[in-house]
Amino acid sequence: MAARDVETLDALFHEKSVFVHMDGAWGKAREMEIIKSGDIYYKEADIHEVSVNSSKRVAGSSRRFRLPNSLLHSSAIRQNLRQ
């Protein structure tokens, strides 16, 4: 994700994927737009736990991780650089 290589990431995510962040949830197309634009930038991530749950027709995965000063919004960065 840090490389913003959405072509490679596109193959990893199902079309009906849902991405949940602290400020909302959206589908694959919006997540790809956000990554490509640089509106979210992951500098570093410490992954603590990964789990996958499934039934006959539905599967879900979750991760518990820490982003030490890693989740930055580019609009905030641009504003700070102007000051």
User: Is the pLDDT higher at 48 or at 66?
Assistant: 48
Q: Say how far apart CA 67 and CA 27 lie, in whole Å.
A: 22
Task: Tell me which residue has tokens 């009906």.
Answer: 16
Express each pLDDT in 1-52 by its tens digit: 667 888 988 998 889 888 887 778 899 999 899 888 887 766 777 788 888 8
Express each pLDDT in 41-62 by its tens digit: 667 777 888 888 888 888 888 7
Q: Say how far apart CA 71 and CA 43 lie, in whole Å.
A: 7
Task: Judge whether 52 and 60 are in contact, CB under 8 Å.
Answer: yes
Express each pLDDT in 71-83 by its tens digit: 555 554 444 444 4
Q: What is the mean pLDDT of residues 64-74?
A: 63
Q: Hey, what are 49's tokens?
A: 């736990």
